[in-house]
Homo-oligomer: A and B are copies of this chain.
Amino acid sequence: MTKSRADKMAETRARLIAAGRAAFAQKGYAEASMDDFTGAAGLTRGALYHNFGGKTGLLQAVIEQIDGEMLARMAEESARHDDPWAAFLAEYRAYIRMALEPEIQRIVLLDGPAVLGDPSRWPRQLACLDRVRDLIAGLIEDGIVQPVDLGMAAALLNGAALNAALLVAGSDAPEATLPRALDTFERLAEGLRA
């Protein structure tokens, strides 16, 4: 079975995304040289410009991929709980833990907003943000949470979770700090309950 043209293109896209993802995570967006990571992928900058239009286009694609993985992991966590509030907190615990990983922290949470602008204005918004919005909407409908502005509540909670994760990641003993972060976050979230 010979590879079709579209298959080959999909493969080069995947290779470039993988190489870019590794480089962005390790050196940061600004310090990652296109020649370096396209070369590492066995390609040249020509392929990158053809497929993604430029360096920022590749960053978008990388973020989209990571976002999809984050969404899946959060959904997986919440599925283990029957109580809606517990499921809600479980998703945020997963989010905070993921924000600890250097790859997600650097690419999605630091360089992404700085290079592409505020995530809430991205053309393809982060799926995990949308998901949290839906969760909160359900909690409000069930009378578990006060009737607050959906997008606002989601943004506030995301910001709190992100900073919690950054602080944990930067601490000397992340493992010891993580439970305190989760605890403090849950107390904050209590403020939204009916």
Contact = CB atoms under 8 A, between A and B. Distances in A.
Contacts of A162: 159, 163
Contacts of A30: 30, 115
Interface residues of A, number: 43
A63 interface: no
Between A152, A158, A180, the greatest number of chain B beta carbons within 10 A of the residue's beta carbon is seen for A152
A89 to B, nearest CB: 12
Interface string A180-194: 110111011111100
A14 interface: no
Given A155-B166, A160-B157, A167-B155, A187 B148 contact: yes
Copies, count: 2
Contact of A159 (B113, B146, B163, B180): B163
A128 to B, nearest CB: 14
Contact of A188 (B156, B169, B170): B156
A127 interface: no
A23 interface: no
Interface string A159-177: 1111110110110000001
A188 B157 CA distance: 9
A72 interface: no
Nearest to A146: B187
Nearest to A168: B152
Nearest to A161: B159
A152 B184 contact: yes
A120 interface: yes
18 contacts: A111-B114, A118-B166, A118-B167, A118-B169, A120-B167, A120-B170, A148-B183, A148-B187, A149-B183, A152-B181, A152-B184, A155-B163, A156-B164, A157-B188, A159-B159, A159-B162, A160-B163, A188-B191
